[in-house]
């Protein structure tokens, strides 16, 4: 049964006004990722990519952090804020990269290469973070890889597309975990080529979680914030955007005179919408603030171990 059925909401309420009121009452901050629905983005106190959201979570002095994103992001906020209440609108908002890298299999993989340095993408569970030497996001991964001494072997998990792109950028060989994002894998090269033929002036921009043929075709590759900033500074008038559709809201807001086309999935589906990110809704945000749940909790020993590689990342960012 869904959260909103189990926890009824008075239908006469103005949900947006209630969220604003409850945020103040609870001294809560609403952090949101760019892949959230536009009405959630518009209510957020802070919007950003994974790195900026982790940095915002580290800085906040609010009593309550409500994280409109996916579970691993809220978990990172809790790792950085053991004494604050960290809420998620929907506990089921997972990530295919995190679920494709279970702790036991990751631990066994690491154990095979005891001298290697383990750099792990932030899209993983707290348990996998605790087994890693460094965490990275798509906006600081290159810097972190370059900071590892040349003579050290690197294990990179869980996104193989980001890993391969980093190998090409840095010239470093790495052992890659074979994980991927179900959203970024969905873009159709065939349809992208057709779109480019119909819109020859449009620039293709892509997130590094996309597959290699899409990245080869892209004119710019970067994290969600880097993609947004590129469309603001660049002088093209039209862009094909190969990442989750949520980012188009901020692109269009920042550049109302430009045209943004969502990268097309292969099937006739909305597979370029992240099904986990899109589990969140204004109703669930309201309920989380009203009831102060669901909360992210974890054993203190795990939290302490998972914090070490996150702090290393933040120090390098």
Residue 70 binds ligand SF4, judged by CB under 6 A: yes
Going by C-alpha positions, the residue among 142, 123, 128 that lies closest to residue 74 is 123
Cα–Cα distance for residue pair 48/245, rounded to 1 Å? 15
Give the x/- contact pattern for ligand SF4 in 257-286, rule: CB under 6 A.
Answer: -----------------x-xx---------
* Structure tokens that stand for 62 in this block: 């609010």
Q: Choose among ligand SF4, ligand 13P, none what residue 49 binds, the Cβ cut-off being 5 to 8 Å by kind.
A: ligand 13P
Residue 181 binds ligand SF4, judged by CB under 6 A: yes
**110 CB contacts (<8 Å, ≥6 apart)?**
116, 118, 131, 155
Out of 244, 245, 246, 307, name the contact with ligand SF4 by CB under 6 A.
244
Residue 40 binds ligand SF4, judged by CB under 6 A: no
Minimum distance, C-beta of residue 183 to ligand SF4, in the bound complex (Å): 4
Q: Choose among ligand 13P, ligand SF4, none what residue 276 binds, the Cβ cut-off being 5 to 8 Å by kind.
A: ligand SF4
Residue 88 binds ligand SF4, judged by CB under 6 A: no
Q: CA angle at residue 265 from 262 to 266, to 5 degrees?
A: 150
**59 CB contacts (<8 Å, ≥6 apart)?**
none
Cα–Cα distances in angstroms (integers) from residue 308 to residues 1, 13, 168, 186, 313, in the given order? 38, 43, 28, 34, 9
Radius of gyration of the chain (CA): 20
Binding residues for ligand 13P (CB under 6 A) = 49-50, 123, 137-139, 181, 207, 209, 223-224
φ and ψ of 103, to 5 deg: -55, -45
For ligand SF4 (CB under 6 A), the number of binding residues is 14
Minimum distance, C-beta of residue 222 to ligand 13P, in the bound complex (Å): 8
Q: How many residues does the chain have?
A: 317
Q: Choose among ligand 13P, ligand SF4, none what residue 96 binds, the Cβ cut-off being 5 to 8 Å by kind.
A: ligand SF4
Which residues of this chain interact with ligand SF4, rule CB under 6 A? Answer: 70, 95-97, 123, 181-184, 209, 244, 274, 276-277
């Amino acid at each position: 049964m869904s959260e909103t059925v189990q926890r009824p909401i008075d239908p006469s309420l103005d949900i947006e006004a209630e969220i604003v009121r409850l945020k103040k009452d609870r001294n809560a901050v609403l952090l949101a990722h760019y892949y959230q629905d536009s009405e959630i983005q518009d209510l957020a106190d802070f919007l950003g990519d994974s790195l900026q959201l982790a940095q915002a979570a580290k800085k906040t002095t609010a009593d309550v952090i409500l994280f409109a994103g996916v579970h691993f992001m809220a978990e990172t906020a809790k790792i950085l804020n053991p004494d604050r209440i960290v809420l998620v609108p929907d506990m089921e908002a997972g990530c295919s990269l995190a679920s494709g890298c279970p702790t036991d299999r990751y631990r066994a993989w690491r154990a095979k290469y005891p001298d290697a340095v383990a750099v792990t993408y932030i899209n993983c569970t707290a348990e996998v973070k605790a087994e890693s030497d460094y965490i990275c996001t798509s906006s600081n991964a290159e810097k972190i890889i370059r900071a590892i001494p040349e003579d050290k072997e690197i294990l990179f998990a869980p996104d193989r597309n980001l890993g391969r792109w980093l190998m090409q950028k840095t010239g470093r060989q790495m052992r890659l975990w074979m994980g991927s994002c179900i959203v970024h894998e969905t873009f159709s090269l065939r349809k992208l080529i057709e779109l480019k033929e119909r819109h020859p002036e449009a620039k293709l921009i892509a997130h590094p979680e996309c597959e290699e043929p899409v990245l080869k075709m892209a004119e710019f590759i970067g994290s969600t914030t880097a993609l947004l900033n590129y469309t603001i500074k660049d002088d093209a008038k039209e862009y094909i955007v190969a990442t989750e559709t949520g980012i188009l809201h901020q692109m269009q807001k920042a550049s109302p005179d430009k045209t943004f086309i969502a990268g097309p999935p292969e099937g006739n589906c909305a597979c370029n919408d992240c099904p986990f990110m899109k589990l969140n809704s204004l109703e669930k945000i309201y309920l989380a603030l009203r009831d102060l749940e669901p909360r992210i909790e974890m054993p203190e020993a795990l939290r302490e171990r998972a914090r070490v590689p996150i702090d290393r990342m933040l120090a390098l960012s």
